[in-house]
Amino acid sequence: MSFDDLLNDLEQRRRQALSMGGEEKLARRRAAGILNARERIDRLFDPGTFVESGLLATSILAEDAARSPADGKITGFGKIRGRESAVVANDFTVMGASSAAVNMKKIGHMKRTAAGRGIPLIMLGESSGARLPDNMGARGMGTLLGQDPQQYLRQRESPWVSAALGLCYGSSTWYCVLADFNVMRKGAIIAVSSSLLASLAMNQTVEAEELGGWRVHAEITGFADQVVDTDEQALEAVKTFLSYLPANSSEAPPVAPVPAGPDGRSAEILKLLPESRTQVYDMRKVLQCIVDRDSWFELKARFGKTAVTALARLGGKTVGVIANNPLFKGGALDTDACDKIVSFLVLCDSYNIPLLFFVDTPGFSIGVEAERRRAPGKIMNFMNALALVTVPKLTVLVRKTYGQAYINMGGGRNSDEFLAWPTAEISFMDPNYAVTVVAGLRPGDPGFEEQRQLMQKDNSVYDIASIYAVQDVIRPEQTRDYLIRMLDVHQLRHSKGVGRHLLASWPTSF
Q: How many CB atoms lie within 10 A of CB 260?
A: 7
Q: Which domains does the chain have, with CATH numbers?
A: 3-244 (3.90.226.10), 266-489 (3.90.226.10)
- Whole-number pLDDT of residue 195: 66
Which residues have a Cβ under 8 Å from the Cβ of 67 and sit 6 or more positions away? 59, 94, 95
Question: How many Å apart are CA 210 and CA 445, to the nearest integer?
Answer: 50
3-class DSSP assignment, residue 190 = strand
Per residue of the chain (510 residues), give pLDDT as tens: 899 999 999 999 999 999 999 999 999 999 999 999 999 999 999 999 999 999 999 999 899 989 999 999 999 999 999 999 999 999 999 999 988 889 999 999 999 999 999 999 999 999 988 787 776 767 766 766 666 777 888 999 999 999 999 999 988 999 999 999 999 999 999 998 776 666 655 667 778 898 899 999 999 999 999 999 999 999 999 999 999 999 999 999 999 999 987 777 888 999 999 988 788 999 999 999 999 999 999 999 999 999 999 999 999 999 999 999 999 999 999 999 999 999 999 999 999 999 999 999 988 988 898 899 899 999 999 999 999 999 999 999 999 998 899 999 999 899 999 999 999 988 765 665 544 444 565 777 676 666 666 556 556 889 889 999 999 999 999 999 999 999 999 999 999 999 999 999 999 876
- Strands, DSSP E only, in 38-194? 51-53, 73-80, 83-90, 121-127, 160-169, 181-185, 189-191
- The CB-based long-range contact list for 7-12 (8 Å cut-off, 24+ gap) reads none
- Whole-number pLDDT of residue 26: 95
- Whole-number pLDDT of residue 135: 67
Q: What is the DSSP letter of 224?
A: -
The amino acid occupying position 78 is G
